[in-house]
Amino acid sequence: MEDRIKDMMDEPIMRLKEANCRNCYKCIRACPVKAIRMVGDRAEIVEDRCIYCGKCYMVCPQDARDLAGDLDKVRKMVRSGEKVCFSVSSTLTGFFPQANLRRLAVPLKKLGAFRIEDTSEGAGRMIQEYSEQMFEKKMKNAISSYCPSTNFLIQKYFPTLTQWMIPVGTPLEVHAKMMRSAYGEEIRVVGIGPCIAYQKLARLSEGGRLIDAYLTFEELESWLNEEGLQITEEEDEDTLFCSNYHWKYADEPYGVIEALPEQIKYQYRTWELNGETKAINMFQESGVDMDNYFMTVTACSNSCLGGPMFRLYHRDNFRSKDLWLKNIPSDVSLKKRNPSEDAEISIYKKYEPMPFPQNQPGEEDLEYFLSLIGREKAEDQLDCGACGYMSCREKAVAVYQGMADPFMCIPTSRDRAEAQSNLLFDNAPNGVIVMDREFRILEANAAAQNILGYDQEELKGTFASEYLNEEFLNHAQYKEADVIRETVECEKINKIISITFFKIKRHDISMAILYDRTDRARRIREVEKFQEETISVTQEVIEKQMRIAQEIASLLGETTAESKLAFNRLRNLLMIRGEKDE
């Protein structure tokens, strides 16, 4: 049993499909912690390093993303008749403009849901615990544990700061405990929201026994569509909103601080950060030197209203937030409270460090790995970031740690490709010239220079019509065919040249491949001349022989028909052979 739970905990929730990956490195550039490793020609998420922010999932242009969702698992739960309680993020309205909790409850209950509640109930209990912790000044500094992705970031990359993480579960974890206390331990708890990190947390929290599954808004939409259900204006009256709508503001930037009582929030200097990069920079700069700070940190810009599903579907915008803000006070219901709100539970959770091996190279090793990527000299270190790493030195460290391929450098690959292309161009056995749209020569390889009789500097900037057949060039300029092949006489250079001409429209240039056929043409002409002379001599001989034969025949009284026929056959045979040689 323990081995099965461990396998579930270690199982990645995000993958990048091998078949779709095109080595664009966009996922590496987007990943704030560089938790993606290049294996051969594809990207692979390294589970130990991942903070499940979903950046790679959102930016992949080749649709290589693969999220190990829980939809099939949830379907089985409701179809088997289990008591499934859904804890729904208050940001629901931002993703589904027509929805609120009661409207969503209608199709969910048709699918078999037992209860539908707002995750904000858990946020409210969490904020109450924050207030007590801050009032008693139990911690030198206090960092919110509201966002699961931020929690993973601190535990994995800044483990010394776990001492200041407020020891309280995330809103979904707290709400799951509240519902289990109110409705029985046998219930199934399923979270719904815009987050990806919660999918991982569901597998980890209390060994996967607290939160049974988590559906993203994307999966929820897919499920409803598959079942032919819609969210309409019909509301389920038995579904209750949370009693204090202020708790919902915890899902927006600065919302947790705003929800704290006035006399509490000024016990510390407050600081709100949303976005992984800002959080990482702050943690790197401050470290253990912080004093008397309360920080609310969320991995997503615009907090939960900018979660992965919002960004993936371009709904992290003014309209989505406006709908959410307008909906918050309109769903207040103080007449009834969910039984879960009054549940007596412990929401304590200690955050343990989750460090992973990060071997750092010495200076000698670093120089070696810089040489592997062709950047050992300071002037060669472009620090362009195209590979996903902000500097060549950072990239060399990643190569040392086995996270990057030495050759995943776009400028180096381009330089190598250009060098190989130039080598092929310069040493091609046929002549090659590159021209602009007006047939002005831009480049000419050695073979072309030899054919045209001029060197590179003399040819550059001159018009190809000064050397090649002008009539052919004019014809090629306006012809729609992609490739034109023709052998033409170029009187200006006294040569006969076979030309393969084609346009490269994308770059507005054209190319001509030249093959000098002058010597061959001259040899053919010499053979033709020899054949013509041979035929002429043969004709004369035949005519003379005919005259002699006629004279002899007249003396002997025999016909000359057979002799004439034989000589004509000989002449015709010579002429046919001549035509074949042509």
Q: Cα(142)–Cα(168) distance, rounded to whole angstroms?
A: 11
Question: In this predicted structure, what is the pLDDT of residue 7?
Answer: 52
User: One digit per residue, pLDDT tens: the chain, 582 residues?
Assistant: 344 444 555 677 777 766 667 778 888 888 999 998 887 777 888 999 999 998 888 888 777 667 888 999 999 999 999 999 999 999 999 999 999 999 999 999 999 999 999 999 999 999 999 998 888 888 889 999 999 999 999 999 999 999 999 999 999 999 999 999 999 999 999 999 999 999 999 999 998 899 999 999 999 999 999 999 999 999 999 999 988 888 998 999 888 988 888 877 778 888 899 888 888 988 888 766 788 899 999 999 889 999 999 988 888 888 888 888 888 876 665 568 899 999 999 999 999 999 888 888 888 878 887 777 677 777 677 777 777 788 888 888 888 888 887 777 767 666 666 666 677 777 788 899 999 988 999 999 999 999 999 998 899 999 999 999 988 988 887 777 778 889 899 988 889 899 999 888 877 888 999 999 888 777 776 666 666 666 666 677 667 777 776 766 666 555 555 556 665 665 666 566 555 555
Question: In this predicted structure, what is the pLDDT of residue 158?
Answer: 93
Q: 392 and 443 in one domain?
A: no
Q: Does residue 257 lie in a domain region?
A: yes
Contact 176, 210 (CB under 8 A): yes
Contact 12, 45 (CB under 8 A): yes
Q: 186 and 110 in one domain?
A: yes
Question: In this predicted structure, what is the pLDDT of residue 422?
Answer: 72
Q: Cα(519)–Cα(190) distance, rounded to whole angstroms?
A: 84
Q: Cα(379)–Cα(290) distance, rounded to whole angstroms?
A: 38
Q: Does residue 559 lie in a domain region?
A: yes
- What are the DSSP E strand ranges found in 33-139? 36-39, 42-45, 65-67, 84-88, 115-118
Q: 337 and 479 in one domain?
A: no
* CATH code of the domain covering residue 506: 3.30.450.20
Q: 435 and 550 in one domain?
A: no
Question: In this predicted structure, what is the pLDDT of residue 163?
Answer: 93
Q: Does residue 249 lie in a domain region?
A: yes
Q: 488 and 408 in one domain?
A: no
Q: Cα(308)–Cα(216) distance, rounded to whole angstroms?
A: 9
Q: 525 and 510 in one domain?
A: no
In the Cβ-directed half-sphere of 58, how many Cα atoms lie within 13 Å?
A: 23
Q: Does residue 542 lie in a domain region?
A: yes
Q: Does residue 131 lie in a domain region?
A: yes
Q: Is 291 exposed, middle or buried (0-12, 13-18, 19+ CB in 10 A)?
A: exposed
Q: 443 and 294 in one domain?
A: no
Closest CA to 203 of 9, 451, 462, 358: 9
Task: State both tokens at 551.
Answer: 């004279």
Q: Cα(373)–Cα(419) distance, rounded to whole angstroms?
A: 16
Closest CA to 312 of 218, 412, 179, 424: 218
Q: 378 and 338 in one domain?
A: no
Question: In this predicted structure, what is the pLDDT of residue 420?
Answer: 63
Show the domain range for 109: 69-342
Q: 477 and 401 in one domain?
A: no
DSSP secondary structure string for all residues of 398-447 = HHHTTSS-TT--HHHHHHHHHHHHHHHHHH-SSEEEEE-TT-BEEEE-HH
Task: State both tokens at 17.
Answer: 């499909």
Question: In this predicted structure, what is the pLDDT of residue 573?
Answer: 62
Which of 501, 516, 531 finishes a domain? 516
Q: 312 and 183 in one domain?
A: yes
Contact 54, 33 (CB under 8 A): no
Query: How many separate domains does the chain show?
Result: 4
Q: Does residue 305 lie in a domain region?
A: yes
Compute φ and ψ for 43, nearest 5 degrees.
Answer: -90, 145
Which of 496, 516, 536 finishes a domain? 516
Q: Cα(487)–Cα(469) distance, rounded to whole angstroms?
A: 10
Which of 281, 307, 342 finishes a domain? 342
Question: In this predicted structure, what is the pLDDT of residue 562?
Answer: 59
Q: 329 and 216 in one domain?
A: yes
For the chain, the straight-line distance linking the first and the last C-alpha, in angstroms and rounded, comes to 88
Q: Does residue 290 lie in a domain region?
A: yes
Q: Does residue 93 lie in a domain region?
A: yes
Q: 441 and 403 in one domain?
A: no
Q: Is 391 exposed, middle or buried (0-12, 13-18, 19+ CB in 10 A)?
A: middle
Task: State both tokens at 450.
Answer: 């030899």
